[in-house]
Amino acid sequence: MSPSLLCLILMLLSGLGLNAQAGMLNEPIKPLPAVPQLNPLQVELGRQLFNEPRLSANSKLSCANCHQLNKGGADTVAFSVGVLGLPVSVNTPSIFNAALNFSHFWDGRSMTLRAQVHEAVQSPGEMSGNWRDVVQMLGADANYRASFEKAYPDGVTESNVNNALATYERTLISSNSRFDQYLRGDTGILSQEEKYGYQRFKSNGCIACHQGVNIGGNMLQKFGVMGDYFKARGNPTPIDLGRYQVTKDDMDRNVFKVPSLRNVAVTAPYFHDGSAETLEEAVEVMFRYQLGRIPSAEDKTLIIKFLKTLTGEWEGKPL
């Protein structure tokens, strides 16, 4: 191949947004990584603990009750029911791909998965567990004791319980969405309307907050940049203060972690308050209060078609 022809091909690929070496599209959204290869004994132990109701105060509520893996890793209601039989204060985010977020909880107060696990287990509104009791219970269970001794030199400890849960959660990667396949160079896998939807997603400014490998989850943002969402919704609650409850900085009022949009089509309802029951409602609210305009019917239709391409797979099956 002549140098001039090679240059022409590279220019054409660049114009299409392709990485000539890997066939990867050069976009602000990146494909999910493969499921990491971690210590299998710790992963399996974490899986068991994730489904273990005895971590909770009443031995009836496990992590899997609210983070339902067969329902996108979230819940199907605005507010999950905690150990006391009462709704928790915020909508349950998906546990899928949570390891790729820069912080955890809607107010971003935990910077690591281990910190998130530690707090969720002992949170009064959620599992209301006691770590001393949890360690004692697991240590008294012959099967758990044997599993911990195989996975960790020092057996059952609070740190090891926490580590096992976080290790398992790191494997919850919903790879191989159709959009990820598109980003890897299979441009024919999306319909023309889905591709137009992605272009509208970018041109309207959604991409400013929802980008990167998790299509969000990497920044904090005020809910209501271009209008007072909470005044329009009514009935404000302390939870609506968001990040302010952590920092007490007025600049953090109504500021929340930008959620990942991965698997968004299967994780309704939406927002920290679970107020949007459908993608149509969620897109409408985002346009109005984050972008300051009303979306056209065509914008909404096309963007939602794009959002539906973000649904990935778990254990070889679509979520």
At 23 the pLDDT is 75
Give 259's Cβ-side CA count (13 Å radius). 24
Distance (Å) of CA 181 to CA 34, 101, 242: 13, 21, 35
- Report yes or no: 83 and 57 within 8 Å, Cβ to Cβ: yes
- 185: helix, strand or coil: coil
Residues 6+ apart with CB under 8 A from 54: 134, 137
d(CA 28, CA 104): 22
Class of domain 178-318: mainly alpha
Give 86's Cβ-side CA count (13 Å radius). 8
Model confidence at 3: pLDDT above 90: no
Q: Average the pLDDT over 61-87 and give the result.
A: 95
Model confidence at 11: pLDDT above 50: no
Domain ranges of the chain: 40-170, 178-318
At 24 the pLDDT is 84
The residue among 131 and 10 whose pLDDT is bigger is 131
d(CA 159, CA 144): 15
**296-312 confidence digits (pLDDT tens):** 999 999 999 999 999 99
Percent of the chain with pLDDT over 70: 93
Containing H/E element for 65? helix 63-66
User: Given 27, 44, 52, 126, which residue is catalytic?
Assistant: 126
Q: Indicate if 169 belongs to the active site.
A: no
At 180 the pLDDT is 98
**20-40 confidence digits (pLDDT tens):** 335 788 999 999 999 999 999
Q: How confident is the model at residue 15 (pLDDT cuts 50, 70, 90)?
A: very low
Bridge-based pairing state of the strands 313-314 and 317-318: antiparallel
At 234 the pLDDT is 96
Topology of domain 40-170 in CATH is: Cytochrome Bc1 Complex; Chain D, domain 2 (1.10.760)
Model confidence at 7: pLDDT above 80: no
Check: pTM over 0.85? Answer yes or no. yes
**40-170 shares its CATH topology with 178-318:** yes
Please state at what angle helix 297-307 crosses helix 279-286, rounded to 10 degrees: 120
**125-158 confidence digits (pLDDT tens):** 899 999 999 999 999 999 999 999 999 999 999 9
Please list, residue by residue across 54-73, b when 16 or more beta carbons sit within 10 angstroms of its beta carbon and e when fewer do: bbbbeeebbbbbbbbbeebb
